[in-house]
Structure 1
Amino acid sequence: MRIVLVGPPGAGKGTQAAYLAKNLSIPHISTGDLFRANISQGTDLGKQARSYMDKGQLVPDEVTNAMAEDRMSQADAAGGFLLDGFPRNVGQAEALDEMLKSKGVALDAVLDLEVPEDEVVKRIAGRRICRNDSSHVFHVAYNQPETEGVCDICGGELYQRDDDNEETVRTRLEVYHTQTEPIIDYYREQGLVVTIPALGKVTEVTERAMAALKSDEG
């Protein structure tokens, strides 16, 4: 299957993408991983991306599109993939359609993870991350450490990232509504959008998504 995963910041896209890709036996292709891989390997695209990032500028769509196309052309993605963080706007969505059309394939579904805005703010603003290892993540309401401010796993100090405060989260949501949400309408016109309520346990959301994909296939 060829799937695009969309949803606001804090919807759990990264977590769901990993579970769904494993269940469907397809690679999880995230924009963040694409950038990191190209930059660390020193590819031409990575060098181009870095030149913009070093100046604090957005990487142009054509560079991001080329990275995505290169990754989707690799052998492990021949039978399908799950895109997370790409496309991020309608221009990228149109470019993706053209890429797939040139290969004689098309998207199967666009999964839209739906989370109320107040819940997004609560999820992100309540996150606390370990200074020793950023994969150790806790939450003031949903996943409290045994000792406040201390990582259960390694004993490191837990802190709130600067961009995890409520004001910044609401700004990020505005950017999402302006830039990314229009792609949902773009794909809805193609009959590809499947909306998944993303509240509840991670496994419950994954089960909803898998059930929706099966029924969509049928």
Structure 2
Amino acid sequence: MTGPNASGKGTVAQRLLTEGMVRHHVSMGQLLRDVAQEASNTPDQKQVLDCLLGSPDATSHLEHCLRNRLLIPDAWTEALIELYLKNHPELHTSVWLLDGYPRRLEAAKHLMALLDELNIPLLHVLHLRVPEAEVLRRSLLRKREDDNKETIRSRYRIYEQEILPVVEHLEALLGTHQVSHIDASTDTGQTNSREIIYQRVKYTLSSAGLTS
């Protein structure tokens, strides 16, 4: 599942997990935060992470990227997702959701090769579409310290320049029947916007034969 910031990916993922439509939720953002925290708290883990990512300053750079919401180098995310999938065999035989990854074309190519190597089928791609103006409105309402108009618009540019080509690549590779573009925008007056977005996702998955 992919989409711009503030498109509702986390909320949708939690609902899919709670309602049993997926067995596991793998968030690249959470995975990165977890490994960075472990490395910062434990010297041995820092050494392992720096070695895995191929740089003695990898942990510090990773923390900087997370703190400033910058894109992580492809080689690092590729190494982390490969290690994670190989260390979690339950993901080889169950329906699970990958949230917020891949974010670049080369990472997408690596992921597809990795899934093929591990015999993990990619069942469907969910792309949550939200226009920039609504992303700006939602993000400012959250009142996060690092959210301002400039940074929000900058992240949306990254979405347009990096993530949309990934979606287009996957659609060309898998076919339109396996990639769904879901309207995740809502009217400003709707108080149940999260439910509306979730029901759109659920309907899409049901139409694709992916719900019981």
Written as runs of structure 1 = structure 2, the 5 A alignment for 1:135-150 is: none
What residue identity is the alignment partner of 2:206? K
* Residue of structure 2 equivalent to 1:168: 151
User: Given the alignment of the two structures, is residue 17 of structure 1 paired with residue 13 of structure 2, yes or no?
Assistant: yes
Written as runs of structure 1 = structure 2, the 5 A alignment for 1:52-71 is: 52-53=61-62, 59-71=72-84
* C-alpha contact (below 8 Å) 1:196/1:209 kept by paired residues: yes
Q: Tell me: higher relative CO, structure 1 or 2? Use CA pairs within 8 A at least 6 residues apart.
A: 2
> Deviations for 1:26-51, whole angstroms, at most 9, x for unmatched residues?
21111121112223333423674414
User: Given the alignment of the two structures, is residue 212 of structure 1 paired with residue 198 of structure 2, yes or no?
Assistant: no
> Deviations for 1:145-185, whole angstroms, at most 9, x for unmatched residues?
xxxxxxxxxxxxxxx51x31112211111111111111110
The structure with more strand, counted as a fraction of residues: 1
> Deviations for 1:43-64, whole angstroms, at most 9, x for unmatched residues?
4236744143356686431221
How far does residue 15 in structure 1 lie from its aligned partner after superposition?
1.4
Out of 134, 149, 159, the residue aligned to residue 119 of structure 1 is 134
Which contiguous aligned blocks of 4+ residues in structure 1 show a shift greater than 4 angstroms? 54-58
For the aligned residue pairs, the C-alpha RMSD in angstroms reads 2.2
Matched residues in 1 for 2:33 and 2:50: separation?
A: 8
Out of 55, 66, 77, the residue aligned to residue 91 of structure 2 is 77
TM-score (norm 2): 0.76
Partner-residue secondary structure (3-state), 1:6: coil
List alignment gaps of at least 5 residues for structure 2: 40-44, 187-192
Matched residues in 1 for 2:90 and 2:116: separation?
A: 19
How far does residue 112 in structure 1 lie from its aligned partner after superposition?
0.7
TM-score (norm 1): 0.75
Q: Once the two structures are aligned, what percentage of the paired residues are identical?
A: 32
* C-alpha contact (below 8 Å) 1:39/1:46 kept by paired residues: no
How far does residue 104 in structure 1 lie from its aligned partner after superposition?
2.0
Task: Give the number of equivalent residue pairs.
Answer: 182
* Residue of structure 2 equivalent to 1:32: 29
The structure with more helix, counted as a fraction of residues: 2
* C-alpha contact (below 8 Å) 2:104/2:163 kept by paired residues: yes
Matched residues in 1 for 2:71 and 2:4: separation?
A: 19
Partner-residue secondary structure (3-state), 1:11: coil
